[in-house]
Structure 1
Amino acid sequence: MIAKKRTVITTDGEVDDMNSFLRYLLYSNEIDTAGIILTSSVYHYSGNNEDVSPYRWTGTKWIHEFIDYYEKVYPNLIQHADGYPSAEYLRSIYHIGNITAPGEMEEETDGSRFLEKLILDDDPRTLYIQTWGGTNTTARALKSIQERFQGTADWQKIKTKIEEKLVIYIILDQDVTYRDYIAKEWNITVINDAFNFWYFAYMWKQVHPKLTSRLAAQWNLENIRDNHGPLLKKYALIGDGNKLEGELYEELRGTDSYLNNHPEYERFEFISEGDSPSYFYLLENGLRNAENPKFGGWGGRFTQIRSNLYKNQAVDYNPFTRRFESEYTLTRWFDDIQDDFAARANWCVSEHFADAVHYPSVTVDNLDVRVKPGEEVSLKVLANDPNNLELHYFSWCYAEASSYWDLSKIDLFSEHVLGVAGLQVSIHSNVMDCPFKVDLAFSNSNSAVFTVPKDAKSGDTFHIITEVSNVAKTPLKTYIRRILTVQ
């Protein structure tokens, strides 16, 4: 059994953070949640009643309110999957961090002290710090440790332990504390989603419509918002009447005024979940996403910039736009991500296991396979459905993640599209025809045959993904990623 990833959520409380947190609660059985910490960012802060006024501050109570609603559906959720944390536990790990100003890290707070203890504890697992707002509370925790131990005989041992233990997943850089403090003083691994998240956030309208059908109004109402219990009734949609106290009037996407001023939207369309990729990355769904950021999965695919820094500059070929795009490493999974969400939404109102769909269970002999040039490799999967539903199989080669195809040899050029706040949010290429030739024979069965190219060199890899999904209105899918390495 694969161990759950251990994580801390830090959030600044924007509407899309709230939507991301709501979805996270439905997946909280899959991840070991060690902490939930409210923090600030350049976009949201509480002020200090002295020289800093509040800016777009949505308060400190919303997390407790969401946990209260989670508690109402918890009895149903635990009928469908093991591992859901109790509401009481979630309340116990919620702490207020550095919230008064953007980048404020001078004050020790309840949240920073709690995070400091987690960083220093003896749990040997990686601790993933999801950064939905600024990094300032994380910076304060690290600074407190540095002030406490630097100059002591144990300092280098403690510092090395922390640098090997932490991974910080940053959604945008929402204050200066990573750049000005963490990056200068610590050699901590960082996964930096600087722009792909926008496409599951406020820029989703720029995604090809073939990929966004499950962000549409009617789909949201039927599959998520309506008749799925009190928690999902809180899921915010465009023009739904939801008003966040403290938010700027022009940012209140639930109002009729916002709809009138933004005719590109329809009432009840998707708003945003820009922070969700940070935990999509942690889900053990068979894609082996967190094993290596360069593999790609629901959290996107990343390029290693240096030993401790990954950025989402990798590109995948989008067959709908006929070009290579960095955002397609995320948007290619939208249908699966949303279908999965819809199935879990049904768990909220299904009192018995037999009343809802569940994940197919799969068995394979080996996920890492040694192969030879020209070899025909049979790839079989043993699978069954816990509800005895019919299963559908689909196998494909994730060519862009495979080293056999060298994207650096393709005539790519960067076409930088400027988006919100002048941020680079897209890298496109002028390649119009997909260059990947894949000899993969499969049918809707549990077996596929992959023919290794004769010119493959020793060390070349091929990522073969098999999807096993049940035939249902809201299907659930289990993935198997096998990595074939040429010897």
Structure 2
Amino acid sequence: MRTFIFFILFSMISCSFFGQTYQKNRVIILTDIEADPDDTQSLVRLFLYANQIDIKGLIATTSCWHQTNVNPKSIEKLIYAYGQVQPNLLKHESGFPTPENLLTLVKEGLPIYGMGGVGDGMDSVGSEWIIKVLEEDDDRSLWISVWGGANTLAQSLYKINNTKTKKEAKRLISKLRVYTISDQDDSGIWIRNNFPDLFYVVSPGDDYGSATWTGINGYFEGVDNTKISNSWIAKNIQQNHGPLGAVYPDVAWGVEGDTPAFLSLIPNGLNESEHPDWGAWGGRYELYKPDFSKTKEGGSIVTIAPETRKIWTNAIDNYTPYIPNEFGRSVKKDTVSFKNDKVTLWRWRDDFQNDFAARIDWCIKSYEEANHPPVPVLSHPQQITVKAGEEFSLDAFDTTDPDGDGFSFLWFNYPEAGSYKKSIEINGAENVHVASVTAPEVSKEETAHFILKVTDKGEPQLSRYKRVIVTMIPK
């Protein structure tokens, strides 16, 4: 009886993540699964967050690498593996959907490449499903996470545009949020040109080396790349982690190149999906019209063309990591800094890889054996206003950890996320629960983003965040 009561109480707590309520992001996945093992890798990770992200569709599609086949059965195979561990996942957090529920979401687009599959008579189960979900009585945005070609989405938009009133089409399209992993067919540029108001995140063209998303799997000099190594993956994901880890394939080209398309939908206190310019696990992006002369072709058959509108695309961070310090203050700034668009993503890579490793532990471990993320709690609102030159405090005294682990604090300014672009230093120690900051002199109202990162001392170490937006006004 006691066990039953504990389970009920735990479920009630975990539904709100220990008092932290959030609204799940809705997402439909378009995947050219079997074109590259990385789609399978990304689906394994996605299913481990299936209680935190509202998965509304899993649609098998084509791409420039996979032009005449779609493979919904490959998605189903992964769901069967997930089904074997779902009961154990529920011991750690509530809300993991049943495998039967996920199987109903598996659909397919046409086995036709690109714009050849868009137009009259080109509807598919997948394109119709996107419209059906979009028409549901739900005010939340609907994210379309495109891991291959985008022509199934293009067909949905084509039909909406040709069968709905202008008012209704505008209403439906306004709810869409699209993140595509580069351009993997010729429908991406068609979508952007024909639907200029559509919220669209992409590194345009087919030159993957110029894309922000490659920050997830790139090997970078001066950076610890251990957690994307094949040996780390084998030890922490593939082996001795149950059926879901066992179906995680070896890397063929690049590990999890599609994962950035949904990473920023995970509720971790840092991610704000409606604000790509704020920076998050999936990278940081700014809204502008790219210079076509700098857009490169990468060797696929996709034809690139100038953008005719603003899109959410590559942004640059100037990042100096904090590193452990053996004596005295536990952290110090590194002696090297990095400045490029890949930084916006890989700066969080150790954190989200540790999170992945912890959640796949949940597939096989009891609650007591596994690690769970800390819960940062601010002692003040997440948005505050101060005057120029004023000293103010940021405090997270009531932070807790569900496992009773010790944890570390780290406060830092994220200049690129706010309107005030100069770095604002923390006065004194940045690794204590209360941080002191002096607002700089400003001639007009400016905003500055301060990030609290709380990392537990469990295994693997897990991090959660709070973002404080400070509005600074002239004296």
Query: Do the structures match in fold with TM over 0.5?
Result: yes
1:50 aligns with: none
Cα distance in structure 2, aligned partners of 1:191 and 1:335? 24
Q: How does 1:46-125 map to 2 (within 5 A)?
A: 46=68, 59-103=71-115, 104-106=117-119, 107-125=122-140
Match of 1:27 among 46, 49, 58: 49
Residue 332 (structure 2) pairs with residue 312 (structure 1): no
Cα distance in structure 1, aligned partners of 2:111 and 2:357? 34
Deviations 1:12-43, CA, capped at 9 Å, x for gaps: 11211111111111111111111111111111
Match of 1:477 among 447, 463, 468: 463
In the TM superposition, what is the alpha-carbon distance from 1:333 to its structure 2 partner?
Answer: 0.8
Residue 356 (structure 2) pairs with residue 336 (structure 1): no
Amino acid at match of 1:230: P
Match of 1:357 among 359, 367, 371: 371
1:45 aligns with: 67
Query: After alignment, is 8-17 or 113-122 more displaced?
Result: 113-122
SS in 1 for 2:273: helix
Cα distance in structure 1, aligned partners of 2:171 and 2:215? 35
Cα distance in structure 2, aligned partners of 1:403 and 1:122? 36
Cα distance in structure 2, aligned partners of 1:380 and 1:185? 44
2:438 aligns with: 451
Q: Which 5+ residue runs of structure 1 have no aligned equivalent?
A: 48-56, 150-154, 239-252, 254-269, 407-435
SS in 2 for 1:379: strand
In the TM superposition, what is the alpha-carbon distance from 1:437 to its structure 2 partner?
Answer: 5.4
1:164 aligns with: 174
In the TM superposition, what is the alpha-carbon distance from 1:308 to its structure 2 partner?
Answer: 6.0
Deviations 1:425-469, CA, capped at 9 Å, x for gaps: xxxxxxxxxxx452443354321111112x234322221111112
2:363 aligns with: 348
Residue 446 (structure 2) pairs with residue 460 (structure 1): yes
2:400 aligns with: 384
Deviations 1:312-348, CA, capped at 9 Å, x for gaps: 2333335676442111001111111111111111111
Kept in 2: contact 1:462–1:484 (CA 8 A): yes
Deviations 1:24-77, CA, capped at 9 Å, x for gaps: 111111111111111111111225xxxxxxxxx7x3311000000000111111
Cα distance in structure 1, aligned partners of 2:96 and 2:203? 28
1:286 aligns with: 269
Kept in 1: contact 2:316–2:343 (CA 8 A): no
SS in 2 for 1:442: coil
TM-score, with structure 1 as normaliser: 0.79
TM-score, with structure 2 as normaliser: 0.81
Residue 177 (structure 2) pairs with residue 176 (structure 1): no
Amino acid at match of 2:127: S
Cα distance in structure 2, aligned partners of 1:167 and 1:183? 16
Kept in 2: contact 1:298–1:333 (CA 8 A): yes
Q: Which 5+ residue runs of structure 2 have no aligned equivalent?
A: 1-20, 205-210, 290-308, 322-334
Count of residue correspondences: 408
Cα distance in structure 1, aligned partners of 2:114 and 2:166? 30
Deviations 1:212-244, CA, capped at 9 Å, x for gaps: 121123322221111111111121224xxxxxx
In the TM superposition, what is the alpha-carbon distance from 1:89 to its structure 2 partner?
Answer: 0.7
Q: For the aligned residues, what is the CA RMSD?
A: 2.0
Residue 149 (structure 2) pairs with residue 134 (structure 1): yes
SS in 2 for 1:158: helix
Cα distance in structure 2, aligned partners of 1:404 and 1:41? 41
Distance verdict in 2 for CA 1:182–1:143, change over 3 Å? farther
Distance verdict in 2 for CA 1:370–1:181, change over 3 Å? closer
Amino acid at match of 1:357: N
Match of 2:236 among 220, 223, 226: 223
Cα distance in structure 2, aligned partners of 1:43 and 1:372? 55
2:14 aligns with: none
Cα distance in structure 2, aligned partners of 1:179 and 1:219? 37
Amino acid at match of 1:6: R
Kept in 1: contact 2:412–2:426 (CA 8 A): no
Amino acid at match of 2:180: I
Deviations 1:133-176, CA, capped at 9 Å, x for gaps: 11100011121222222xxxxx1221221232111111101112
Cα distance in structure 2, aligned partners of 1:447 and 1:181? 47
Amino acid at match of 2:166: Q
Kept in 2: contact 1:301–1:330 (CA 8 A): yes
